Structure 1
Amino acid sequence: MSVVTRFAPSPTGFLHVGGARTALYSWLYAKSQGGKFVLRIEDTDVERSTEQAKQAILDGMQWLGLEHDLGPYYQTERFDTYNQYIDQLIEKGLAYRCYMSSDELNAIREEQEKNGEKPRYPGTWRDRTDYPEDAPFAIRFKNPKEGSVVFKDHVRGEITISNAELDDLVIRRSDGTPTYNFCVVIDDWEMGITHVVRGEDHINNTPRQINILKALGAPVPEYAHVSMILGDDGKKLSKRHGAVSVMQYRDDGFLPQAVLNYLVRLGWSHGDQEVFSVDEMIQHFSLDHISKSASAFNTEKLIWLNQHYIKTLPASEVAEHAIWHFAQQGIDVSNGPAVADVIKVQADRVDTLKQLAEISGYFFEDFAEFDANAAKKHLRPVAKEALIEVKKALESISDWTAENIQNAINQTAEALGVGMGKVGMPLRVAVTGSGNSPSLDVTLALLKQSTVAQRIIKAIEFIENRENS
């Protein structure tokens, strides 16, 4: 059997963390089995579905690198197909017209609740044929009255639901549109879905969908219902816990590799291993190793993973994502060193790519002003001579390398008879605008020799203005 899995989000909002994890598990299982991964947009809720949300899902999947083999399919483009199957069920006596209004049904459910009963449709129109003329009607599926639905869940083991617990599901509304639970059944069948990975909130839908599949003579896929993700306070993950949108993590400076690694461990494990490349995830992933317990989101651990990937991935790979953050901050990186080279010297100093862009602007463009505290401490009149002399030493370098730059700084300090800090710190503030940077030799080596000279002149002028004010 060729494995086919699917991710089928509803486009009523952004791609959230829980959805992304479900997509990842589904994608990983398909890849681990040499199968196919389907992306299906379940937009039957026409009123709440938006084009913006559809695009947000596509963007999130693309950013994470969870490429689909088939799709994206849109349910609203398949209504004719669903209705053909509904008509077949009606002809076979497996579905029927229901003329009960919403008000009638709500009144019945209220009465049932008062009596401590489970609210459900009582089957009023199940066997009736005395249809009123020109009255609106829905179509309901004739759910079996006897027996039970039994299925083996990869996460939860065997699940048994009595058919007596299930009422007759509406499969087509009175306006002629098919409903979610029916569309899912037809799509899973026609798209050859063999394994359905989805959230535990769908467990109640599963027996209904299995009964419809059996009524149609369709194969029943295997299921894996994953538990929810909680915040670190034990409550359902929400905006109060920080970012819940996948793209918000991109905006905050996280690498997709870090987010994927973090998500895969939110409910799945392979021994004590914490860090996984995508290839390792594919190699080791199994539906049967997904935990049935809810997982708690830990932002600190995600930050740790992000820092790990910034430091250990090839700098060129990190640069592909970092360039976006420079652009967001209005920094043009085309006139400076290679972004990958900046990452090599800054990786140990940041947790996120957003931070990296924030502290690395001076590599690509001049800064508007010196950091006030750094300038007050290091751009004083006593530093003027050191800057003049180190400028001369740096301008005399014929081969602009970190080693030669360091030698020029050392020689300047020796000639002036001062410690390295008396030369290095004013020079750092002059060239970077602040008192923090990677080691001076590699920092200056990434800048043009002429740029370094111009910034030293700017610092000397700053000191002279202070003297004269």
Structure 2
Amino acid sequence: MSSTVIRTRIAPSPTGFLHLGTARTALFSWAYARHHGGEFVLRIEDTDVARSTQDSVEQILASMQWLGLGYDEGPVYQMQRLERYHAVVQQMIEAGTAYYCYCTPQELDEMREGQKARGEKTRYDGRWRPEPGKTLPAVPAGVRPVVRFKNPLEGDVTWDDLVKGPITINNREIDDLIIMRPADAQAGEGALGVPTYNFAVVVDDWDMAITHVFRGDEHINNTPWQINIFRALGAPLPQFGHIPVILGDDGLKLSKRRGAVSVTAYEENGYLPEGMLNYLARLGWSHGDDELFTRDQLVQWFDGTHISKSPAQWDPAKLEWVNAHYIKQADDERLATLVTAQLAKRGLSAPERLPALCALFKDRCSTTVALADWLAMYVAPVTPSDEDKATHLTDAIKPAILTLADKLDALAPADWTKAAISAAIKETITAHGLKMPQLAIPVRVLVCGRAQTPSVDAVLELFNKEILVNRLRSV
């Protein structure tokens, strides 16, 4: 790498939640900057005034914080930079690289319809584009102009994409795009409006000295315009890397408009940020055959290579497997805090000795929601299935269950230990001539509401004695 400081950015629009594709792009951009000792910038592209909301901004910031994607600069809001965009547009108009266009929406519609009828590609026909010796139409009264970029008419735009390799698009394939919308009707004569995406992003990346841009490959068609604007401004070009989309189970692109779940929804559904970060990083990028890796390893390995050129497939089962790994690795006190929040959503208080409960059950869980599902039995009534009751709670076994209830009830608080409970169970099966599963499974069904749990003495030890004995005696 050169001596230039590597600067990357993520630039979500606050028109909804931070969806998974943008979160992955943010992760790649963050990891690339961290790998090279560079800087990561957060920019909020809020020029879609009608659809941008403060709630969306807050959710984006919360998602970034949850994932641990700390930024070195920002958040920078585009709507706070209007004066800068206006100044650059004025410079471009004076330099002859941009011009006013007075076409009305009706004229543009008629233009496109005529092109379609002739079998031509629909595009702006350049009627307001100034050229030597060309006479422009008379400026119509009462029409607020847009500003268009004077795109080169000939030649190619070529860049060496960080992901896809060399890409070339001929300038004849693109037209003079609008870079500034009309000003409001109440604005003064000559006033400018809100910039469009392709213009604002160039000015921002220039001003913020962005050196590397990772983004979704739906932006490939925007890149030639942006490169031409950079060149018209005499600004240094960043390197571009266009990341393939993420596909859902149905093979279609995940997106806000197709019901993609937000990053914050995964937090609410009991996933850990390190699990989501690991899964997102592996979704379209690889380091050999490594499936599980830490944040530090990702930073060490992510040099911008080995990003797949093909779309990635979202796999909920794989995400659960990855997250289960991190649940097993997680500190029990931390899990207890997360499970307390999950139980609170159900109107339940946390059971006593919650960290110990998390330690006992976490190997069976892929999310903190699943962990809360298990641990709810310690503080909420359980309802065994009719099938389990019919199979396991037979008249033949009920006397043994009542014997066990009496033995456990007789234990002093100081004796309420796994060893003492185990001894009571063994005494009961001996007295009634049973084998361990013949008693342990019915006990699980009555006390836990299910036939399968970890070791029964370990599970019972963590119950409140009164709750446990009452459930046994309800047989």
The letter for the 1-side match of 2:126 is G
Kindly state the Cα deviation for residue 270 of structure 1 after the two structures are TM-superposed. 0.9
Q: Across the two proteins, how many residue pairs are aligned to each other?
A: 456
Does 2:457 align with 1:441? yes
Task: Please name the residue that 2:237 is paired with.
Answer: 220
**Would the alpha carbon gap of residues 134 and 341 (structure 1) be closer, same or farther in structure 2, given more than 3 Å must change?**
same
Kindly state the Cα deviation for residue 442 of structure 1 after the two structures are TM-superposed. 1.4
Which residue of the other structure, out of 449, 453, 458, is the alignment partner of 2:466?
Answer: 453
Which residue of the other structure, out of 151, 175, 181, is the alignment partner of 1:167?
Answer: 175
Does 2:25 align with 1:22? yes
Aligned residue runs from structure 1 range 135-150, under 5 A = 135-150=143-158
The letter for the 2-side match of 1:455 is L
- Is the contact made by 1:243 and 1:249 (CA closer than 8 Å) also made in structure 2? no
What root-mean-square deviation, in Å, do the aligned CA atoms of Structure 1 and Structure 2 show? 2.5
SS at match of 2:224: helix
Aligned residue runs from structure 1 range 354-393, under 5 A = 354-363=369-378, 365-367=379-381, 369=383, 371-379=385-393, 382-393=396-407
Kindly state the Cα deviation for residue 133 of structure 1 after the two structures are TM-superposed. 4.6
- Is the contact made by 2:460 and 2:468 (CA closer than 8 Å) also made in structure 1? no
Kindly state the Cα deviation for residue 244 of structure 1 after the two structures are TM-superposed. 3.5
- What are structure 1's unaligned runs of at least 5 residues? 464-469
User: Which whole-Å deviations, capped at 9, do the CAs of 1:423-442 have from their partners, x for residues lacking one?
Assistant: 43343344334433321221
Which residue of the other structure, out of 418, 443, 446, is the alignment partner of 1:402?
Answer: 418
The whole-number CA distance in structure 2 between the counterparts of 1:414 and 1:311 is: 36
User: Which whole-Å deviations, capped at 9, do the CAs of 1:252-290 have from their partners, x for residues lacking one?
Assistant: 333322222222122111111111221111111122221
TM-score, with structure 1 as normaliser: 0.89
The whole-number CA distance in structure 2 between the counterparts of 1:45 and 1:326 is: 39
Bigger Cα displacement from structure 2, 432-441 vs 270-279: 432-441
The whole-number CA distance in structure 1 between the counterparts of 2:291 and 2:118 is: 52
Does 2:104 align with 1:101? yes
- Is the contact made by 1:387 and 1:456 (CA closer than 8 Å) also made in structure 2? no
Task: Please name the residue that 2:133 is paired with.
Answer: none
**Would the alpha carbon gap of residues 24 and 372 (structure 1) be closer, same or farther in structure 2, given more than 3 Å must change?**
same
**Would the alpha carbon gap of residues 303 and 147 (structure 1) be closer, same or farther in structure 2, given more than 3 Å must change?**
same
TM-score, with structure 2 as normaliser: 0.88
Task: Please name the residue that 1:466 is paired with.
Answer: none
User: Which whole-Å deviations, capped at 9, do the CAs of 1:6-25 have from their partners, x for residues lacking one?
Assistant: 11112222222211111111
Which residue of the other structure, out of 127, 130, 137, is the alignment partner of 1:124?
Answer: 127
Task: Please name the residue that 1:287 is paired with.
Answer: 304
Kindly state the Cα deviation for residue 60 of structure 1 after the two structures are TM-superposed. 2.3
Bigger Cα displacement from structure 2, 260-269 vs 314-323: 314-323
Bigger Cα displacement from structure 2, 300-309 vs 151-160: 300-309
**Would the alpha carbon gap of residues 368 and 159 (structure 1) be closer, same or farther in structure 2, given more than 3 Å must change?**
closer
Percent identity over the alignment is 46
SS at match of 1:39: strand
SS at match of 2:305: helix
SS at match of 1:203: helix
The whole-number CA distance in structure 2 between the counterparts of 1:71 and 1:399 is: 58
Kindly state the Cα deviation for residue 459 of structure 1 after the two structures are TM-superposed. 3.5
Aligned residue runs from structure 1 range 10-409, under 5 A = 10-127=13-130, 128=136, 130-175=138-183, 176-237=193-254, 243-333=260-350, 335-338=351-354, 340-363=355-378, 365-367=379-381, 369=383, 371-379=385-393, 382-394=396-408, 395-396=410-411, 398-409=414-425
User: Which whole-Å deviations, capped at 9, do the CAs of 1:116-159 have from their partners, x for residues lacking one?
Assistant: 32222122112148534543111112222343322211011122
- Is the contact made by 1:5 and 1:26 (CA closer than 8 Å) also made in structure 2? yes
Which residue of the other structure, out of 441, 444, 450, is the alignment partner of 1:428?
Answer: 444
Kindly state the Cα deviation for residue 104 of structure 1 after the two structures are TM-superposed. 1.0
The letter for the 1-side match of 2:54 is E
- Is the contact made by 2:441 and 2:452 (CA closer than 8 Å) also made in structure 1? no
The letter for the 1-side match of 2:162 is H
- Is the contact made by 2:19 and 2:255 (CA closer than 8 Å) also made in structure 1? no
The whole-number CA distance in structure 1 between the counterparts of 2:339 and 2:68 is: 16
The whole-number CA distance in structure 2 between the counterparts of 1:60 and 1:371 is: 39
- Is the contact made by 1:44 and 1:179 (CA closer than 8 Å) also made in structure 2? yes
The letter for the 2-side match of 1:418 is L
The whole-number CA distance in structure 2 between the counterparts of 1:418 and 1:368 is: 25
**Would the alpha carbon gap of residues 401 and 241 (structure 1) be closer, same or farther in structure 2, given more than 3 Å must change?**
farther
The letter for the 1-side match of 2:147 is I
User: Which whole-Å deviations, capped at 9, do the CAs of 1:317-346 have from their partners, x for residues lacking one?
Assistant: 44454333222222221x4222x3222221
- Is the contact made by 2:405 and 2:472 (CA closer than 8 Å) also made in structure 1? no
The letter for the 1-side match of 2:213 is V
The whole-number CA distance in structure 2 between the counterparts of 1:374 and 1:309 is: 32
Kindly state the Cα deviation for residue 50 of structure 1 after the two structures are TM-superposed. 2.5
- Is the contact made by 2:444 and 2:453 (CA closer than 8 Å) also made in structure 1? yes
SS at match of 1:53: helix
SS at match of 1:300: helix
- What are structure 2's unaligned runs of at least 5 residues? 131-135, 184-192
The whole-number CA distance in structure 2 between the counterparts of 1:157 and 1:256 is: 32
The whole-number CA distance in structure 1 between the counterparts of 2:336 and 2:231 is: 52
- Is the contact made by 2:402 and 2:472 (CA closer than 8 Å) also made in structure 1? no
- Is the contact made by 1:141 and 1:168 (CA closer than 8 Å) also made in structure 2? yes
SS at match of 1:177: coil
